[in-house]
Amino acid sequence: MTLTIGLIGLGAMGGGMAQSLRRKGFDLRVFDVRKEVADAFVKDGGAACASLAELGAQCDVVVSVVVNAAQTESVLFGDVANNGTGGVASTMKPGSVFVMCSTVDPNVSIAFEARLAALSLLYIDAPISGGAARAASGEMTMMTAATPEAYAKVGEVLEAMAAKVYRLGDKAGAGSKVKVINQLLAGVHIAAAAEAMALGLREGVDAAALYEVITHSAGNSWMFENRMAHVLAADYTPLSTVDIFVKDLGIVLDMARATKFPLPLSSTAHQMFMQASTAGFAKEDDSAVIKIFPGIELPKKKP
Residue 1 confidence (pLDDT): 54
177-292 folds as: N-(1-d-carboxylethyl)-l-norvaline Dehydrogenase; domain 2 (1.10.1040)
Residue 86 confidence (pLDDT): 81
Please check the confidence at residue 143 and state whether its pLDDT lies above 90. Answer: yes
Residue 302 confidence (pLDDT): 83
Superfamily of domain 4-171, CATH level 4: NAD(P)-binding Rossmann-like Domain (3.40.50.720)
Q: What is the pTM of this model?
A: 0.92
Q: Which of 177, 179, 247, 291 is catalytic?
A: 179
pLDDT in tens, 190-217: 999 999 999 999 999 999 999 999 999 9
Pairing of β 128-129 and β 140-146: antiparallel
35 catalytic residue (yes or no): no
* Residue range 221-232: mean pLDDT, rounded: 97
Give the residue extent of every domain in the chain: 4-171, 177-292
pLDDT in tens, 244-267: 999 999 999 999 999 999 999 999
